[in-house]
Structure 1
Amino acid sequence: MANKTLAIGGGFIIEDTDPNSIVTPESLTDEQRMIAETTTSFVEAEVSPHQEQIEGLDYELTVKLLRKAGEIGLLSTEIPEAYGGLGLDKMSATLINERVSKAGSFGLSLGAHTGIGTLPIVYFGNEQQKQKYLPKLATGEWIAAYCLTEPSSGSDALGAKTTARLSDDGKYYILNGTKQFITNAGFADVFVVYAKVDGKLFSTFIVERTMPGVSVGPEEQKMGIKGSSTRQLILEDVHVPVENLLYEVGKGHQIAFNILNIGRFKLAAGAVGGSKDAIELAAHYANERQQFGRKISSFPLIQQKLARMNTRTFVLESVVYRTAGLLDAALADVDVTGPNAGMLSAKAIAEYAIECSINKVFASETLDYVVDEALQIHGGYGFIKEYKVERMYRDSRINRIFEGTNEINRLLIPGTMLRRAMKGELPLLQKAQALQAELMQMTPALSAPEGTLAEEAQYIANAKRIFLMVGGLAAQAFQQRVDEEQEVLSNLADIAILTFAMESAWLRTMQHVERAGEGACANAIAMTKAFAYESLGEIERLAKECLARIEQGDALRMQLSVVKRLARRTELDIIGLEREIGRAVVDAEQYVC
């Protein structure tokens, strides 16, 4: 259930959210549960038995399976009914992305097709383009690929060198250039390609594989995701009909950046599924493996690993489904069949660019952590190819690079907040200024707040104050030079990420407690407590590091004392909490919430 009044993108840092206003995995409809079950059944029955063949880069099998997925609606969730799709919400698409991630490389092939490959046409295509391409993309008759990266431009997308020149007769754009690391390139039929018209106007084109001058390079020999096709797309005097210009000349950046936002979010959904899969594998192995005359799952340090893996995954899941609700609410009133679909879609998606970057960074680093620990639990066997966790370990690493590196996304979070504040879209600076007076008058609390997770609610409120305080001081100190202080911006991003993550877990747990009672939410409460406690400690460290760069002398000592007050925590038996969580994972032999 999404907010009726749209939440402001990035507004979580300056305002409170009602727990009943967010979407959680516990609030799925029967139809959404059926979609999740259908996806799980498809992966288990159709994909998993052929995993080794897929990893050997069997194009024919991958395409066959994509078409089977199309037959049961897994490729058409976000395509409007008018063009042969199901026209469902982001929640439904999130469930598919999460479940299909268990299929490894095949999940990437499917995700690239349904997400960054198809959605540019859904959101920005004209009626003729939608009628021509979407029905075939919905069934898998045609497979899509997204072509933004070039050999000399990755994160700097606007530095692309691929060119498009209008032909003398005005009927074609003639494209020349090379695109790098293109997923699905080996078998895709349709390519969404970015090029500069006359070498300067960044624009987007729909290119078909059969057009003369289109070719692909050899397969890249990758460390992971070996079952997905990754090649160069080479364009040599490709005559693309003018009707294949997507949206408008010079507005390719609107498509590129907003589709990247969706891609970042979808990556996070996949990371939820991957993390759950790793927990299940690790818990099962720990229950099977015996050392020193007992199951290794009985050792506290193994339980601690499983507890921390599970907690991070619980928080990530809370972040992803909260964001799915935000995107659904923003896109709910956009008629993607209407004449202004592109402009309205771009505005709706851009609203939550900050949240999408948060999802991407937190998800990719959570998955890396969880899979790394899963391999560690397997010991030497985790390093052996026949164990699935070995492949998962290699596959997970790319996620910190995909869809904009984590470094770029970290810079985007505070940078986008500041730009929105300058435009009057986010009252960040006003809140930061008002906070200064409040902080000088703060007195230590005499007792801890009472009630379910009341103390954690205070931690979240203080985390927001710390972000505003440090961010405001950084803006004042560095002014126009703030972009050069990348270490400070990265720390601010991490404070924002941890704050959004803490709050998402807290909101989800409070919503569930209200509906089911504390007894039914013991694990969720324990995980929320543990994550909030540790996150506030990390936020304090990050803030102090920033302040030492911003201030000096008495001013620094005063600001450090304020942060120390804001980050004060009641000591928590974190070992005891994690033992409870760990035992629950061992007993269930899977992810628990």
Structure 2
Amino acid sequence: MKDKANTKENNLLRGGQFLVKETAAKDVFTPEDFSEEQKMMRDSVKEFVDREIWPKKEEFEKKNYDLTEEIMRKAGEMGLLGVAVPEEYDGLGMGFVTTMLVCDYISGATGSVATAFGAHTGIGTMPITLYGTEEQKKKYVPKLATGEWFGAYCLTEPGAGSDANSGKTKAVLSEDGKNYIINGQKMWISNAGFANLFIVFARIEDDKYITGFIVENDPENGITFGEEEKKLGIHSSSTRQVFFNDTKVPVENMLSERGNGFKIAMNALNVGRIKLAAASLDAQRRVIDQAVKYANDRVQFKTPIAKFGAIKSKIAEMATSAFVGESATYRAGKNIEDRIALRMEAGNDHQEAELKSVEEYAIECSILKVAVSEDIQNCSDEGIQIFGGMGFSADTPMESAWRDARIARIYEGTNEINRMLAVGMLIKKAMKGHVDLLGPAQAVGEELMGIPSFDTPDYSEVLSEEKAMIGKLKKVLLMVAGSAVKKYGPELEEHQQLLLASADILIEIYMAESAILRAKKNHKRDDANAEYQVAMAQLYLYHAVEIVNQKAKEAIISFAEDDEQKAMLMGLKRWTKYDNFPNIVQLRNKIAEKVTAENTYPF
């Protein structure tokens, strides 16, 4: 058994290692690998959304908070709120991939339900499940898992947003030592209008780090609320300020240990980031479906607009982004699930196994949060454009989709913060020896100074040139990041624009590689959509190479000079050069014609 576990450990890359180690297509998990149980769960959630949420889409734009609460209760009755909760606390106890799948498909119809679901099942319930004592879990988690109670998460304050540990809310131990007295103000609290329980972060005395508390919602215990916020989107998501005025919290309701709140908050955000990526996937599929149906029905100049090249281009790019987002999100989700299984086989309990496994892939979680949140924004924007003037009307679903999508770039840490985190965490992992960046970076430096090979590569296997191109893009990042670390050392974090450029390179590598691996795997097993998946992988990579070229050039010029700059720019040119350029127009037409023929997102 131990040898088997060691084999699994060796085959499973650690977080961030995708940059320096090869991943075989056969080893990557794809949506085509869903089990029958997972497909049944997916179909059940889709049926629930199509019956209970999608027909009421207009009503969700009228700030109907009661409707959101009603939908959440129905989701609880179906067991969907407890999908990630262990069975001993009245949950379904399903694996990490299945929890992502439910989050994916329940979130596509409206951002209001997506936000309520994510806030409740993620940051409202998960901190107790993963950090609570046995008594806390038995008392609170079953109520949250079944929808008897709803949860909310009180971290953000007027002066504490991205700098989460700077909150001013205080917790003072009462004279009799039985309660903490909490005073402070929290803002942007999702589900505040109907939450029964709050995860509240406050500072005890002059502690360096904040502490977490489980606080029941009792208006007679000094808890008051601001009015519902007026927001750009997610109109039926209850969002209020919460005020704590001498609120008594029993000492046994401290969550984890004193001063551990910042760690709880950060780990909760890691899970929230990958779940947010999942929550943006079906939103893209639904936007594509609506846009394609309209494009097929809308006739101009005696021709359906879906036949025009300009519209084909948009449809192809929208479908490609959705495909790539799926590929990368479920790839990382399965890595987390496999790591959880390994840790539990090694003797960790469920709490420790999930916490450490998600933390292991924090880099990938940040990458996905940024990439997919920006993809849904772009997708909905193009959806409006395909609808033309009608897209700007509230009578069609496009404008609400666009407004709802906008918050995703701010939730769970802004995309700017997540970009810098991804690179910062990668460097920290390298310093701890968890990811060997030094050796590969040195090898790239030697290659940069050497004579390039003029051998003709063998690209006979499908996507072989694309796989080779990913390897070259990794060299670009190792060249840029290695030289930047060498020059700035610990002060690198002060050079934010350099970090942002490096992060964009890192993101494109992971997303493009995920699409290539999925398409390659499905091509080998003769999947019906394989040829179109190959086309989407090629199309995405083409854009990725252009972005890497631009961002790397920006970074190199910002810190390298004279001969070093010239050498790095030459290396960049070498490693972003195709041997055989793909015909982008042809690829777009192929993808778009498949989508329009099916009249839906078919992949």
Superposition TM-score, scaled by structure 2 size: 0.95
Structure 1 partner of 2:473: 463
- What letter matches 2:160 in structure 1? S
User: After superposition, what is the alpha-carbon deviation per residue over 1:242-275, rounded to whole angstroms, capped at 9, x for unaligned?
Assistant: 1111111111122110110111111100111111
* Aligned equivalents of 1:560, 1:508: Cα separation in 2: 32
Q: Which moved more, 1:477-486 or 1:499-508?
A: 477-486
* TM-fit CA distance, 1:340: 6.2
Please give the secondary structure, in 2, of the residue aligned with 1:75: helix
Instruction: Give the deviation of 1:341 after TM superposition.
Output: 5.5
Percent identical across equivalent pairs? 42
Give the whole-Å Cα distance in 1 for the aligned partners of 2:518 and 2:101. Answer: 17
Aligned to 1:114: 121
Distance 1:173 1:147 in 2: 16
Are the counterparts in 2 of residues 444 and 565 from structure 1 also a CA contact under 8 Å?
no
1:352-431 matches, within 5 Å, as 352-431=361-440
Q: Deviations over 1:365-404 (max 9, x none)?
A: 1011111001000000011111111100111111111100
What CA distance in whole angstroms lies between the structure 2 residues aligned with 1:520 and 1:157? Answer: 44
Q: Which residue of 2 aligns with 1:183?
A: 190
Asked if 1:57 is matched to 2:63, the reply is yes
1:516 pairs, out of 486, 506, 526, with 526
After superposition, residues 18-417 of structure 1 pair within 5 angstroms as 18-104=24-110, 105-200=112-207, 201-210=209-218, 212-333=221-342, 342-417=351-426
In structure 2, what is the Cα distance between the partners aligned to 1:117 and 1:397? 22
Per the TM alignment, residue 141 of structure 1 is displaced from its structure 2 partner at its CA by 0.6
Q: Is the 2:109–2:283 contact (alpha carbons within 8 Å) kept by the matching residues of 1? A: no
1:1-50 CA deviation, whole Å, 9 max, x = no partner?
x9922321111111111222221100000110111111011111122233
Question: How many positions carry a matched residue from both structures?
Answer: 590
Pairing 1:530-569 to 2, within 5 Å after superposition: 530-569=539-578
**CA-CA distance at 1:316 after TM superposition:** 0.7
Query: For structure 1, which segment, 441-450 or 532-541, has the greater mean C-alpha deviation from structure 2 after superposition?
Result: 441-450
| SS of structure 1 residue aligned to 2:318 | helix
Describe the shift of the 1:560–1:176 C-alpha distance in structure 2 as closer, same or farther (beyond 3 A). same
Q: Indicate conservation of the 8 Å contact 1:540/1:567, yes or no.
A: yes
Report how far residue 70 of structure 1 moved.
Answer: 1.1
CA contact (8 A) 1:164 1:199 kept: no
Gaps of 5+ in 2: none
Matches within 5 A, 1:481-496: 481-496=491-506
Which moved further from structure 2: 210-219 or 253-262? 210-219
Aligned-pair distance for 1:343? 4.7
Alpha-carbon distance in 1 for matches of 2:67, 2:584:
48
Alpha-carbon separation, structure 2, partners of 1:316 and 1:389: 20
- 1:197, distance to aligned residue in structure 2 (A): 1.3
TM-score (norm 1): 0.96
- The alpha-carbon deviation at position 159 of structure 1 amounts to 0.8
Give the aligned partner of residue 507 of structure 1: 517
1:562: Cα distance to partner? 1.1
Give the residue type in structure 2 aligned to 1:116: I
Letter in 2 for 1:298: K
The DSSP-based 3-state class of the residue aligned with 2:600 is: coil
Structure 1 residue matching 2:107: 3-state secondary structure: helix
The separation in 2 between residues aligned to 1:406 and 1:442, in whole angstroms, is: 39
**Cα pair 2:292 2:315 within 8 Å, conserved:** yes
Distance in 2 (alpha carbons) for counterparts of 1:311 and 1:339: 39
Q: How far apart, in 2, do the equivalents of 1:253 and 1:344 lie?
A: 19
1:4 to 3, 8, 13: 8
Given that 2:523 and 2:531 are in contact with CA atoms closer than 8 Å, whether structure 1 keeps it comes out as no
> What CA distance in whole angstroms lies between the structure 2 residues aligned with 1:77 and 1:398?
25
Range that drifts further, 416-425 or 225-234: 416-425
| Deviation larger for 218-227 or 339-348 | 339-348
Cα distance change, pair 335–141 in 1 and its aligned pair in 2 (3 A): farther
For residue 529 of structure 1, report the CA deviation from its aligned partner: 1.0
CA 1:98 to 1:536, structure 2 compared with 1: closer, same or farther past 3 Å? Answer: same
Letter in 2 for 1:287: N
- Is the 1:126–1:339 Cα contact (8 Å) retained in structure 2? no
2:588 to 578, 584, 589: 578
Which letter maps to 1:588?
E
Where 2:157 maps in the other structure, the secondary structure is coil
- Does the residue aligned with 2:278 lie in a helix, a strand or coil? helix
Hey, what's the Cα distance between the residues in 1 that align with 2:373 and 2:108?
15
Given that 1:219 and 1:231 are in contact with CA atoms closer than 8 Å, whether structure 2 keeps it comes out as yes
Quick check: 97-106 or 149-158, which moved more?
Answer: 97-106
Query: How far does residue 80 in structure 1 lie from its aligned partner after superposition?
Result: 0.3
Query: Equivalents in 2 of 1:460, 1:416: separation in Å?
Result: 21
Distance 2:40 2:351 in 1: 31
2:27 corresponds to which letter in structure 1? S
Question: Does the residue aligned with 2:213 lie in a helix, a strand or coil?
Answer: strand
Gaps of 5+ in 1: none
Please, what is the CA RMSD of the aligned residues?
1.8
Is the deviation greater in 404-413 or in 555-564?
555-564
- Measured after TM superposition, the shift of residue 496 of structure 1 is 0.5
Q: Distance in 2 between matches of 1:20 and 1:258?
A: 30
Deviation at 1:430, TM superposition (A): 2.7
1:50 aligned partner, one-letter code: K
